[in-house]
Structure 1
Amino acid sequence: MTFAKEPTGSLYAISDMHLDFKKNMEALHQLPIFPGSRLITGGDLCTKPEHLRTALSILTQRFDRVYWVPGNHELWSSKKPESEESARGVDKYLWLVDICREFNVLTPEDPFDTWHGVGGPCTIAPLFIPYDYSFMDDPNADWAAWSEQERVEKAVAWAVEDGILCSDEKLINTTPYRDIAEWCRARVGYSHDRLRAIPPDRPIILVNHFPLRGDLVRLRPQMRRFRIWCGTNLTEQWHREFNIACAISGHLHIRATDYRDGVRFEEVSLGYPRDWEATQGIGAYLRVILPAPAEPEQTNHHTVFHRRGNHRAERLRRAKEVT
């Protein structure tokens, strides 16, 4: 892959653009150019492959370089018996990787890139680590005693008790893996080995659609048990094991900056049309990853919510409310 010169602008991130919705796609077409800047996309850009091609064709014209990781929506499989969209499981994922490569977009299957702009050098590490249901927080659960298959069955049954069933259970095919939990464990091992190969003195910008920690999963009370489809406990300590400068995720549609042990965690979702204000445009919802924002005095279990766009938009809103 060949790329433009080293960045003179910022490193931005956004996820969950859900371009299958007309409002979101129309807004993407209005996104301005960000000269000298790069963009991390954190999954759930869209469901349909043709929308992925459209998105990447636009984003690669707006930014010097683009990074992509899959969300759960990209992995949904079409039920059409005769079409390229009928790809399943790992084949579907690798097909999406090939689409990204058509546009020189870096994926979890490519060598890690280095940011040499302001705040660098940092290694940018896109990952694909789904979930294994271990975010289940039922106090009566005996997770350690259950077999792997029992963990999946009991976790899904626990969510269904509350009237919750993720569409993934019907739409994600995990071939050749038995289930997504097994696929998740394989991806954890693969990703862990790649991260260990990064020099320990090199800061890492880690990107995954799903949060790395269960305590970062925020959901409406009536959706609390949806958390089993939100990540894995296997990555709980990665921010301590590796030199993580910032961990980027999406999936939750609740934009926030969190700190754990001094490490910054960014949830960078745009979301469904109801989750954002079209009058601001998508550009207002791009999160600046580098240069890093000034850290708050308390950086352990400190949270900043971004209800109406990026840091600048949120500061302007608060200033208006004060005055």
Structure 2
Amino acid sequence: MRVFALSDLHIDYDLNKQWIAQLSTDDYRDDVLILAGDVSDSLLLLEWCLKTLASRFKKVLYVPGNHDLWVIRDGPDRQSLDKFQQICTLVENCGASMQAFHRGSLSIIPLLGWYDYSFGQPSTEIFATWADYHACRWPEHFSAHDITAHFVQLNEPLFSNLNQTVISFSHFLPRIDLMPAYIPLEKRTLYPILGTHLLEKQVRQLASTIHVYGHSHVNRSVKIEGISYINNAFGYPRETHIAAKQLLCIYET
């Protein structure tokens, strides 16, 4: 059994959707796919993607990204927490899973999250331009800290009965030093909305061997303090310089 990692498919773009449709129907029958968020804000497209991948892999493990929780196209009364609950049901109905996966000596643990500005305070420009601030809708009293705490708390029941080797995955970054040094200063204004230190605490609590993340669209594999952190984002069609646009095998039993 092989474990593959992928994130940020953004299949609203036809080119990305075609790549999924053209994946082999035979090569991955005994394998697991970690899908670390940002498939589409369309439930119909998300359903198509998960069903397509579930028909190709032995198991598809998924967490939603920020784009998946957008409700801007779903009507003025739609709430992102309600959509999250709908996604949870949809995922299971598609043959995929948002639950812990245990097989032999391996456990794969999905970690929900958001961003809480523990990587820095967003600029006025980010508050004005970052799509999540108008495309998601949260309860009126919810701050970014509340959103993050809500999702991170949902991870805690998955931390028991772990096998010897643990792979964890999240859409959001657990630590900001996963961003490479070559990122231009003008792009670093996005750092505050990339993730949360709370995820890193959970990754360390799990004693993960590997942690897969997405969101940044910057493919990278780096080992920090004994844990291998891997981002294999597919990204937007134009992002050929930072995204490999292929499956990446991260583990094999």
The Cα of 1:47 is off from its aligned counterpart by 2.0
Inter-partner Cα distance in structure 2 for 1:115 and 1:276 = 35
The Cα of 1:102 is off from its aligned counterpart by 1.1
The Cα of 1:216 is off from its aligned counterpart by 1.0
Once the two structures are superposed, residues 116-155 of structure 1 have per-residue CA deviations (whole angstroms, 9 ceiling, x without a partner) of: 3xxxx1111112111111100xxxxxxxxxxxxxxxxxx2
State the partner residue of 2:43. Answer: 49
Contact 1:202–1:243, Cα closer than 8 Å, also in 2: no
The Cα of 1:81 is off from its aligned counterpart by 3.3
Q: How does 1:137-156 map to 2 (within 5 A)?
A: 155-156=121-122
State the partner residue of 2:169. Answer: 207
Contact 1:129–1:184, Cα closer than 8 Å, also in 2: yes
Query: Aligned match of 1:115 in 86, 103, 109?
Result: 103
State the partner residue of 1:276. Answer: 240
The Cα of 1:26 is off from its aligned counterpart by 1.3
Q: Which runs of 5+ in 1 are unaligned?
A: 1-8, 137-154, 293-323
The Cα of 1:287 is off from its aligned counterpart by 1.4
Q: 1:195 to 1:261 in 2, by over 3 A?
A: farther
> Tell me, what secondary structure is at the counterpart of 1:258?
strand
Inter-partner Cα distance in structure 2 for 1:79 and 1:47 = 8
Inter-partner Cα distance in structure 2 for 1:80 and 1:287 = 33
The Cα of 1:89 is off from its aligned counterpart by 2.0
Query: Aligned match of 2:197 in 233, 237, 262?
Result: 233
- Pairwise CA RMSD: 2.3
State the partner residue of 2:251. Answer: 290
State the partner residue of 1:58. Answer: 52
Question: Does 2:41 correspond to 1:77?
Answer: no
> Tell me, what secondary structure is at the counterpart of 1:273?
coil
State the partner residue of 1:19. Answer: 11
Runs of at least 4 residues off by over 4 Å: none
The Cα of 1:184 is off from its aligned counterpart by 0.5
- Percent identity, aligned pairs only, is 24
Contact 1:177–1:183, Cα closer than 8 Å, also in 2: no
Once the two structures are superposed, residues 11-40 of structure 1 have per-residue CA deviations (whole angstroms, 9 ceiling, x without a partner) of: 111000110001111121111131211111
State the partner residue of 1:130. Answer: 114
> Tell me, what secondary structure is at the counterpart of 2:64?
coil
Q: How does 1:249-264 map to 2 (within 5 A)?
A: 249-264=213-228
Q: Which runs of 5+ in 2 are unaligned?
A: none
> Tell me, what secondary structure is at the counterpart of 1:231?
coil
Once the two structures are superposed, residues 195-239 of structure 1 have per-residue CA deviations (whole angstroms, 9 ceiling, x without a partner) of: 54244x632211100111121134442211111111112233444
In terms of Rg, which structure is larger?
Answer: 1
The Cα of 1:247 is off from its aligned counterpart by 0.5
State the partner residue of 1:165. Answer: 129
Matched pairs, number: 247
Once the two structures are superposed, residues 16-73 of structure 1 have per-residue CA deviations (whole angstroms, 9 ceiling, x without a partner) of: 0110001111121111131211111000011211110110121011111111100000
The Cα of 1:99 is off from its aligned counterpart by 1.1
Q: What TM-score results when the alignment is normalised by the length of structure 1?
A: 0.70
Contact 1:90–1:176, Cα closer than 8 Å, also in 2: no
Inter-partner Cα distance in structure 2 for 1:240 and 1:91 = 30
Task: Tell me: higher relative CO, structure 1 or 2? Use CA pairs within 8 A at least 6 residues apart.
Answer: 2
> Tell me, what secondary structure is at the counterpart of 2:139?
coil
The Cα of 1:159 is off from its aligned counterpart by 5.0
Once the two structures are superposed, residues 154-213 of structure 1 have per-residue CA deviations (whole angstroms, 9 ceiling, x without a partner) of: x23x252x897311111111227513320201222332x3354244x6322111001111
Contact 1:10–1:38, Cα closer than 8 Å, also in 2: yes
> Tell me, what secondary structure is at the counterpart of 1:274?
coil
Inter-partner Cα distance in structure 2 for 1:177 and 1:270 = 34
State the partner residue of 2:78. Answer: 87
Q: What TM-score results when the alignment is normalised by the length of structure 2?
A: 0.88
Contact 2:111–2:199, Cα closer than 8 Å, also in 1: no
Contact 2:9–2:233, Cα closer than 8 Å, also in 1: yes
State the partner residue of 1:182. Answer: 146
Contact 2:168–2:203, Cα closer than 8 Å, also in 1: no
Once the two structures are superposed, residues 243-292 of structure 1 have per-residue CA deviations (whole angstroms, 9 ceiling, x without a partner) of: 20110101111111010112111111010001239xx9x5xx11112128
Contact 2:50–2:95, Cα closer than 8 Å, also in 1: no
Once the two structures are superposed, residues 84-141 of structure 1 have per-residue CA deviations (whole angstroms, 9 ceiling, x without a partner) of: xx6312111011111111112111xx3x21133xxxx1111112111111100xxxxx
